[in-house]
Structure 1
Amino acid sequence: MLIETFADLTCPWCYIGKRRLDRALEQRPGIRADLRWQPFQLNPEMPPGGMARADYLVAKFGGAERARQIHRVVEETAERDGLALALDRIQRTPSSFDAHRLIRIAGRRGLGNAMADALFTAYFAEGVDIGDRDALAATAALVGLDFAEARRLLDTDAEAASVHAADSLARQMGLQAVPCYIFNRRYALSGAQEPASFLPLLDLGAEEPENLSVVTG
């Protein structure tokens, strides 16, 4: 069963939603899920070097205090879900473009899902700047990729065109927020839903033939 997740690596709800999808799949052990990550940049105009977190919070939320109020909901949700979340450790808000490229590079070796997991953990639990290419290569090494090779590829335009194309497709489909999950390229579910919300679509998708070409949502 093909499950495509449109997400951004800097989106806490995508981090939470990823764990909830995993929990739903644990309840359906008979389903063989092919998990693929599709890029959606929440901040497509972000400079390659990112920006100071404090400046970003002012620009997005009007200041740190307002951001803390909004983040409190995220932190409480993550805690209930058993996820490590340390937003106060994040010093820079990165461009997620290279992180999306790295997931696709890892995906060539069947490690795209593991790479997404590692990047979410690095950013949200450890405050790693996932816009920094050395940090990205180090994270790639944690899932079994060669540090030097990953670093070399990040210095090229590897997967840049495919990330741009997939991000553009998401917007053409009408996506304005993430996460969004598409099952067998037919059924869509948006938001960091509770695990139970995934189950009907998992059951429905498991009953259908693979390689469907129609995308809804």
Structure 2
Amino acid sequence: MSTAEKKVKLDIVSDVMCPWCFVGKRRLEKALKNIDQEIDVEIKWLPFQLDATLPPEGKDRQLYLSEKFGGKENAEKFYQTIKQAGDDEGIDFDFDAIEVSPNTMDAHRLIAWAGQQGDEQQDRIVELLFKAYFQDGKNIGDHAVLAKIAAEGGMDAQQVSGRLKSDDGLIETRQAVDHAHQIGVNGVPCFIFDGKYGVSGAQAPETLAMAIGKIANGEGL
């Protein structure tokens, strides 16, 4: 196979309120450093909602944890494994800083708009959203917060703010979330290679690198 043919399309189905998705992003970044540099990996971030029932303004974090885990203590036990995984990947999760569990629909709209400006722009916005939520405790469902993240990521904050106030991209984002369910995605992150092969979970860098290499060389998974 010639160099020009060594291309891999990688769709990442993810939710920015999913800590394992943040861990998965870090592990993918490690994987990309350890693949044949002749391989061109085209990455797109696609939306998923862990909890679409959350109201647009989000829900008090402690109330959310109480309803989901039966209290903060149970939640802390659940997040202990994630915290360790984060430490291993250089992510300093600060779950205590989170005051609001957000509805992520508008964050996904922002990610989609960033994607219209290129893969690197989209990746930059996804990274900023993860950091804002998991390390700074920001409410990434809040329009002012999203506009600020957009500006930090090099987008036009005023334009983003205006689009967030409208229904721009809302139907398309909901359809994309529905599509993820329709193709069998029931947990994230989910890595989909060339639209054919799906790998679920925050996989080890070696696993992701191997999968990318096989797809690039015309092999199946």
TM class, shorter-length: over 0.9
- TM-score norm. by structure 1 comes to 0.94
Q: Distance in 2 between matches of 1:202 and 1:151?
A: 37
Q: Quote the offset at 1:62 in angstroms.
A: 0.6
The Cα offsets for residues 125-178 of structure 1, whole Å up to 9 and x where unpaired, read as 111110000000100111100111111111111211111111111111121111
The Cα offsets for residues 158-214 of structure 1, whole Å up to 9 and x where unpaired, read as 2111111111111111211111000111111100111011122101221239xxxxx
Q: Distance in 1 between matches of 2:93 and 2:179?
A: 30
Q: Is 1:26 paired with 2:33?
A: yes
- Structure 1 unaligned segments of length 5 or more: list them: 210-215
Q: Is 1:128 paired with 2:135?
A: no
Please give the residue correspondences for 1:5-84 in structure 2 after superposition, counting only pairs within 5 Å.
5-28=12-35, 29-84=37-92
Q: Distance in 2 between matches of 1:139 and 1:190?
A: 28
SS of the residue corresponding to residue 135 of structure 2 reads: helix
- Structure 2 unaligned segments of length 5 or more: list them: 1-7
Contact 1:21-1:198 within 8 A present in 2 as well: yes
- TM-score norm. by structure 2 comes to 0.92
Moved beyond 3 Å, runs of 4+: none
SS of the residue corresponding to residue 40 of structure 2 reads: coil
Partner in structure 1 of residue 207 of structure 2: 197
Please give the residue correspondences for 1:135-174 in structure 2 after superposition, counting only pairs within 5 Å.
135-174=145-184
Partner in structure 1 of residue 4 of structure 2: none
Partner in structure 1 of residue 114 of structure 2: 106
- For residue 77 of structure 2, what is the amino acid of its counterpart? Q
Coordinate RMSD, CA, aligned: 1.6
Q: Distance in 1 between matches of 2:33 and 2:153?
A: 21
Candidates 205, 208, 212, aligned match of 2:218: 208
Candidates 83, 87, 94, aligned match of 1:86: 94
Contact 1:25-1:31 within 8 A present in 2 as well: no
